[in-house]
């Protein structure tokens, strides 16, 4: 560790024997950079369950649209008037 460019990471193996791995700061930085890219990709392509309707939600949506088209709904202004708001 003369020039400070190396990190010494010690870890314990199953049988109590110690082993060491020398890792450069440059290597750690590269791995962190790669991880940052992967996290960005995952965030961009992550599944959003709120975007997909369940079968029941789809059925209720279709029923509501039919009611809207056939005039079985009440407008917000009419509802407010009915409620005295």
Per-residue model confidence as pLDDT tens digits over 61-84? 999 999 999 999 899 999 999 999
Question: Are 56 and 74 within one domain?
Answer: yes
- Evaluate if residue 14 carries a pLDDT over 70: no
Question: Are 85 and 52 within one domain?
Answer: yes
Per-residue model confidence as pLDDT tens digits over 26-50? 888 999 999 999 999 998 888 877 7
Distance from the Cα of residue 78 to its chain's centroid:
41
Question: Are 57 and 77 within one domain?
Answer: yes
Question: Are 59 and 83 within one domain?
Answer: yes
SS3 9: strand
What domain range includes position 34?
6-45
Q: Is residue 1 part of a domain?
A: no
Q: What pLDDT score was predicted for residue 9?
A: 53
Q: How many domains does the chain have?
A: 2
The residue behind tokens 């997909």 is 52
């Amino acid at each position: 560790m003369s020039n400070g460019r190396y990190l010494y990471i010690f870890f314990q193996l199953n049988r109590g024997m110690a082993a060491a791995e020398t890792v450069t700061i440059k290597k750690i930085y590269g791995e962190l950079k790669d991880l940052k890219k992967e996290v960005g990709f995952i965030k961009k392509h992550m599944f959003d369950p709120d975007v997909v309707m369940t079968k029941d939600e789809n059925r209720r949506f279709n029923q509501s649209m039919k009611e809207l088209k056939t005039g079985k709904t009440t407008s917000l202004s009419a509802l407010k008037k009915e409620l005295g708001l």
